[in-house]
Amino acid sequence: MTDLLTLTDLVVDIPHRRGTLRAIDGVSLSIARGEVLGLVGESGAGKSMIGNAVIGLLARPAHVAGGEIWLGDRRIDRLAPHQMRQLRGRRIGMIFQDPQTSLNPLMRIGDQLVETIRLHRPMPAASARTEAIRLLDEVGIPAPEERMAYWPHQFSGGQRQRIVIALALAGEPELIIADEPTTALDVSVQAQIIRLLKRLCADRGVAVMLITHDMGVIAETADRVCVLYAGRVAETGPVTEVLSRPRHPYTVGLMDAIPSLDPARGEPGVATLRQIPGAMPSIAARPSGCAFHPRCASATPDCARVRPDPRPAGRSEVACPVCAPTHEDAAS
Amino acid sequence: MKHSTPTTTVAPVLSVEGLSRDFNIPVPFLRRLVPGRPRPVFRAVTDVSFEIPRGQTYALVGESGSGKSTIARMVVGLTRPTAGVVRIAGHDLFAPDARDTRQAMRRRIQMVFQDPQASLNPRWRVEAIVGEPIRAFGLASGRALAARVAGHLETVGLSAADARKYPHEFSGGQRQRIAIARALASEPEFIVCDEPTSALDVSVQAQVLNLLRTLQSDLGLTYLFISHDLAVVRHMAQRVGVLQRGILVEEADTKTFFAGPKAEYSQMLLSAVPKIRKGTDE
């Protein structure tokens, strides 16, 4: 497989009055064409910041302070703003959490689509209109021709998110960054949007970076998953592997903490959830060594000193010298 | 099971009968002047009845707009029902001559809201936030009040020293603990939890859910637990009610419900929950 997007040792810094905060601290990952990579982590893990770094939309003063971002054979972390603008929407599409705020409320959705299509792919207005109708149809909006004249507020939340996806597809991108695309939606609508994203990915061979805090969404959508903790990769690997045999103590704890519908996880209304003590450290007070060590049950004195790098363990890569690769079944 | 003590002789902590609530739909100004048209109303809750025995948790599930929060507001007395009766420990909360009962009931009912960011006054210290119900109901003052606040903070897993801090100095999970401490401060029997963990991360959610469970068994609390997350509900409740557009479409024991929901809508909700295939592909 050829990798479409490659990040190597990405570092994102946020300078402030008394020094610099390191939000992303040496993250390496890659996404192949047609692959869905799930980026999971809790608030403060840095998952959205990685997405924003890739599309060059880091909010100042945050900036890429080290490492490289490659899209195909082009390095994109050093591009001038106008070059980045040509890439954004064209080669990289974006879907954000809240469809309410990513659509222009004062523009009919047909006009928004036509404008976006013609911006990225110069063509006569009439063909752009045909293309817009085709896109609406593709994302499952019924009676697309008629709906072209509707305003965003005339659609439900799920339909609005479908329109946002159509907009993201307008430039025929190779990569889509979807930042919490289903978080604002009800479960039944969420399931529809997940199915749609998967279908588009398969039909068009688009690579998707799916940023979410929801392991369930990852399990249903992603091919590979990358678990982030405090600005570093804790564990990365095929979804089935990471979810069924988590190795990093953080992933293990996270999986145990998720309330489940699985009857094997105890009687309804009775079983106690397993919990990870403490909370994700704030970016200003990250512990030395492995950032997870103060919350980790299997931490050794070394963990406070040595910052672990991901190393192969089974079909995954795990950033924990204690749990990988020797104790393969630390999870069970 | 700890909570299955017989409750035949005691009135249920909460009983709701034929509860309905209408909301007026705004009409354009000029059309409002046209006579002879009835005011259009939206029926958010239609004829809902259920009860919660002491020490148990009843979960209301449903998607946005299903009327969960409207029921929560009526049950705590914040919204007046259009029709129906809310009884707390046998007392009608909205009886016309029940001003005094209502005041007395207020202390025994508390609420924990979804977003601790929005439900805690950012300009108040934690001691003022948690102390307010104690002062309002005249339960203690002066040094006794400070001691009670410290006690409640420790009950929810914070330290007495946290009383001097402001909400912004805490993480999201800790803020929800403060909100729970405030709910405990008036020594209630019945707490309405309206999506108490949906603004929290999973690892923190587990801590808060476990805390709610421990408090329930230690203090004998009764919960109305409102959530859109079926997995959380399965974990927390003894009984489940499913709301669809304001109508209670199904009600069952948690065990029976998750073994096989009857209503088509419940089945759809359950099947829409993403499944984490854990340990099944070995």
Q: What angle do CA A262, B1, B114 make, to 5 degrees?
A: 60
Q: Mean pLDDT, to the nearest integer, of A308-319?
A: 90
- pLDDT category at A18 given cuts 50, 70, 90 is confident
Partner residue opposite A259 with nearest CB, options B171, B235, B238: B235
- The ranges of chain B with pLDDT < 70 are 1-9, 277-282
**CATH code matching the domain that covers B14-29+39-272, chosen among 3.40.50.720, 3.30.470.20, 3.40.50.300, 3.30.420.40:** 3.40.50.300
Q: How many CB atoms lie within 10 A of CB B274?
A: 19
Whether residue A128 is predicted with pLDDT greater than 60 in this model: the reply is yes
Q: What percent of chain A is predicted at pLDDT more than 70? A: 96
Least confidently predicted of A56-60, A265-269, B120-124 = A265-269
Partner residue opposite B273 with nearest CB, options A187, A240, A274: A187
- pLDDT category at A187 given cuts 50, 70, 90 is confident
User: Nearest C-alpha of chain B: how many angstroms from A44?
Assistant: 10
Q: Mean pLDDT, to the nearest integer, of A127-150?
A: 94
Residue with tokens 């490492």: A67
Whether residue A325 is predicted with pLDDT greater than 60 in this model: the reply is no
* CA count, 13 A, side-chain hemisphere, B88: 26
Q: Any CB–CB contact under 8 A between B202 and chain A? A: yes
Q: How far apart are CA A272 and CA B210, in angstroms?
A: 7
Kindly state the DSSP code that residue B273 receives in the 8-state scheme.
Answer: S
ipTM above 0.85, yes or no: no
Indicate the residue type of B37.
Answer: R
Q: How far apart are CA A34 and CA A225, in angstroms?
A: 14
- pLDDT category at A99 given cuts 50, 70, 90 is confident
Instruction: Read off the tokens for B39.
Output: 């005011």
C-beta separation of A46 from A23 below 8 A? yes
CB contact under 8 A, A191 and B202: no
Instruction: Read off the tokens for A244.
Output: 């069924």
CB contact under 8 A, A253 and B203: yes
Q: How far apart are CA A66 and CA B161, in angstroms?
A: 41
End-to-end CA distance of chain B: 33
Least confidently predicted of A200-204, A281-285, B7-11, B257-261 = B7-11
Q: Any CB–CB contact under 8 A between A1 and chain B? A: no
Among the listed residues A106, A63, A61, the one whose alpha carbon sits nearest the alpha carbon of residue A84 = A63
Burial of A146 (0-12, 13-18, 19+ CB in 10 A): exposed
Helix axes A187-204, B264-272, angle to 10 degrees: 50
User: Nearest C-alpha of chain A: how many angstroms from B46?
Assistant: 21
Task: Return the pLDDT at A324.
Answer: 66
Residues of A in contact with B1 (CB under 8 A): 270
- pLDDT category at A330 given cuts 50, 70, 90 is very low
Mention every residue, 6+ apart, whose C-beta is less than 8 A from residue B2. Answer: B217
Strand A36-40 relative to strand A224-229: parallel, antiparallel, unpaired?
A: parallel
Name the CA radius of gyration of chain A, rounded. Answer: 21
Q: How far apart are CA A306 and CA A45, in angstroms?
A: 20
Q: Which of residues 123-142 of B touch A (CB under 8 A)?
A: none
Q: How many CB atoms lie within 10 A of CB A185?
A: 23
Residues of A in contact with B64 (CB under 8 A): 186
Q: How far apart are CA B140 and CA B200, in angstroms?
A: 32
Q: How far apart are CA A90 and CA A275, in angstroms?
A: 43
Mean residue pLDDT across chain A: 89
Q: Any CB–CB contact under 8 A between B172 and chain A? A: yes
Q: What separation in angstroms does the CA of B238 have from each of B51, B183, B226?
A: 12, 22, 13
Least confidently predicted of A193-207, A293-307, B73-87, B98-112 = B98-112
Mention every residue, 6+ apart, whose C-beta is less than 8 A from residue A27. Answer: A7, A9, A10, A46, A50, A67, A228, A231, A232, A233
Residue with tokens 């199904």: B250
Q: How far apart are CA B121 and CA B133, in angstroms?
A: 14
Q: How far apart are CA A28 and CA A11, in angstroms?
A: 10
Task: Return the pLDDT at B9.
Answer: 56
Mention every residue, 6+ apart, whose C-beta is less than 8 A from residue B254. Answer: A268, A269, B59, B233, B234, B237, B238, B239, B240
Task: Return the pLDDT at B35.
Answer: 73
CB contact under 8 A, B63 and A188: yes
Buried b (16+ CB within 10 A) or exposed e, A59-71: eeebebeebebbb
Helix axes B126-136, B172-185, angle to 10 degrees: 20
Task: Return the pLDDT at B280.
Answer: 41
Instruction: Read off the tokens for B197.
Output: 């963990």
Whether residue A1 is predicted with pLDDT greater than 80 in this model: the reply is no
Q: 3-state DSSP call for residue B252?
A: strand
Residues of A in contact with B279 (CB under 8 A): 244-245, 332
Q: How far apart are CA B110 and CA B188, in angstroms?
A: 6
Kindly state the DSSP code that residue B168 receives in the 8-state scheme.
Answer: G
Q: How many CB atoms lie within 10 A of CB A7?
A: 22
Kindly state the DSSP code that residue A88 receives in the 8-state scheme.
Answer: B
User: Nearest C-alpha of chain A: how many angstroms from B201?
Assistant: 6
C-beta separation of B212 from B159 below 8 A? no
Instruction: Read off the tokens for B243.
Output: 């709301």
Q: Which of residues 219-248 of B touch A (CB under 8 A)?
A: 228-232, 234-238
Q: Any CB–CB contact under 8 A between A285 and chain B? A: no
Query: Maximum distance among all alpha carbons in chain A?
Result: 68
